[in-house]
């Protein structure tokens, strides 16, 4: 069994003399070394009734000591440091601080995705508003065009006319680009459909749809600007703003029926007269426009001998052949 040595160190005397402190510590170190000399590894040392015991190497520093710590700053500490940097002296001059931006944890830059997520509501609201405004402007322009094209809200209040737009007679959409007319127009050409007559909206609208389908198979829309039915109704074709088939800068109006064989009903002639007056009033036709039969512009029977005789009595009718 290994021996146990009892070490009873001397108590240090308290002295105000710095040199005596150094001597006492040196003596104590020598004494401890002497006492522990010869102890083998694993030996037991028993210390009783002692204080100020130091076992191991003692390192002494003479002079100022700076200790650096690597710590994680919390938000409150960062705010305190920021406030410390912003302090000023009595003269209002900023006090230079030892705290630098390098000591502060850097906030990661926001990615575009994060910005959009954070501001997504406002961004989507602005985009939605712009889309709504753009869509509204487009719809307004279409509505204005439809009003002019389909003769809605352009009929003078003192003229009683039954106007049936493309929507009402259920027209097919056009299949190509349409060439605009130049206003006011010089010529109005009168034709006939050379088919069945009609005396009601149901019959006339069916005939107009059939005519459009046949014309679309050979073009991009119904050929006529307006069609006049035996019911006294006006069926809008290309309207006031688009050139008729053939590309002439003229308005092509057609009586529904065959008036080489049949008499032209007075209501159809009266409706034509009113429609022509509207064209002048809304500045689509010149005040001194010329009215001609289809047969005066090409080799055809249209609008039929009976219709030709009826329109020849109108004040704007022009005799003789016409070339566009």
Q: Are 208 and 230 in contact (CB under 8 A)?
A: no
pLDDT score at 152: 44
Q: Residue 34, SS3? A: helix
**Counting Cβ atoms within 10 Å, is residue 199 exposed (0-12), middle (13-18) or buried (19+)?**
middle
Q: How far apart are CA 235 and CA 194, in angstroms?
A: 16
Residue with the larger pLDDT of the pair 11 and 28: 28
DSSP for 40-63, please give it: PTT--EEE-S--S---S------S
pLDDT score at 291: 98
Residue 294: CB atoms within 10 Å? 20
Question: Residues 31-69: pLDDT tens digits?
Answer: 655 555 555 555 666 777 777 676 666 666 666 766 665
Residue 216: CB atoms within 10 Å? 18
Q: Are 196 and 257 in contact (CB under 8 A)?
A: yes
Dig out the tokens for 119 from the structure: 């501001």
Instruction: Tell me the mean pLDDT in the region 149-153.
Output: 44
pLDDT score at 140: 52
Closest CA to 212 of 220, 204, 201: 220
DSSP for 110-165, please give it: PPHHHHHHHTHHHHHHHHHHHHHHHHHHHHHHHHHHHHHHTT-S-S-TTS--EEE-
- Of the candidate ranges 42-46, 139-143, 164-168, the one whose mean pLDDT is the lowest: 139-143
Residue 151 has pLDDT above 50, yes or no: no
Q: How far apart are CA 309 and CA 33, in angstroms?
A: 147
Residue 76 has pLDDT above 90, yes or no: no
Question: Residues 6-21: pLDDT tens digits?
Answer: 444 444 444 444 444 4
Residue with the larger pLDDT of the pair 280 and 32: 280
pLDDT score at 138: 59
Residue 202 has pLDDT above 60, yes or no: yes
CATH classification code of 162-311: 3.40.80.10
Residue 130's pLDDT band (boundaries 50, 70, 90)?
Answer: confident
Residues with Cβ within 8 Å of 50's Cβ and at least 6 positions away in sequence, in order, are 7, 8, 9
Residue positions counted in the chain = 324
Residue 30's pLDDT band (boundaries 50, 70, 90)?
Answer: low
Residues with Cβ within 8 Å of 324's Cβ and at least 6 positions away in sequence, in order, are 187, 248, 249, 250, 297
């Amino acid at each position: 069994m290994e021996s146990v040595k009892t070490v009873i160190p001397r108590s240090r005397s308290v002295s105000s003399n710095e040199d005596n402190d150094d001597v006492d510590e040196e003596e104590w170190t020598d004494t401890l070394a002497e006492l522990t000399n010869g102890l083998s590894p694993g030996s037991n040392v028993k210390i009783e009734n002692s204080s100020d015991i130091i076992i191991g190497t003692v390192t002494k520093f003479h002079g100022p000591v700076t200790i650096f710590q690597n710590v994680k700053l919390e938000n409150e500490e960062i705010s305190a440091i920021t406030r410390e940097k912003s302090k000023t002296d009595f003269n209002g001059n900023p006090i230079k601080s030892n705290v630098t931006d390098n000591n502060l944890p850097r906030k990661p830059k926001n990615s575009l995705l994060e910005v959009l997520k954070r501001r997504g509501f406002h961004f989507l609201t602005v985009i939605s508003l712009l889309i709504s405004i753009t869509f509204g402007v487009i719809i307004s322009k279409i509505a204005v065009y439809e009003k002019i094209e389909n003769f809605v809200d352009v009929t003078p209040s003192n003229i009683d006319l039954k106007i049936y737009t493309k929507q009402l007679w259920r027209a097919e959409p056009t299949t190509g680009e349409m060439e605009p007319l130049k206003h006011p127009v010089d010529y109005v050409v009168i034709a006939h459909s050379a088919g069945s007559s009609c005396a009601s909206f149901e019959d006339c609208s069916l005939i107009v749809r059939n005519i459009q389908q046949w014309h679309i198979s050979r073009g991009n829309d119904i050929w006529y600007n307006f069609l006049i039915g035996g019911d006294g109704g006006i069926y809008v074709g290309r309207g006031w703003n688009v050139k008729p088939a053939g590309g002439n800068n003229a308005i092509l109006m057609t009586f529904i029926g065959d008036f080489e064989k049949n008499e032209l009903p007075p209501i159809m002639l009266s409706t034509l007269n009113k429609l022509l007056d509207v064209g002048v009033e809304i500045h689509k036709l010149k005040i001194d426009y010329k009215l001609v039969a289809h047969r005066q512009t090409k080799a055809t029977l249209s609008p039929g001998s009976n219709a030709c005789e009826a329109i020849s009595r109108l004040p704007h009718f022009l005799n003789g052949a016409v070339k566009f």
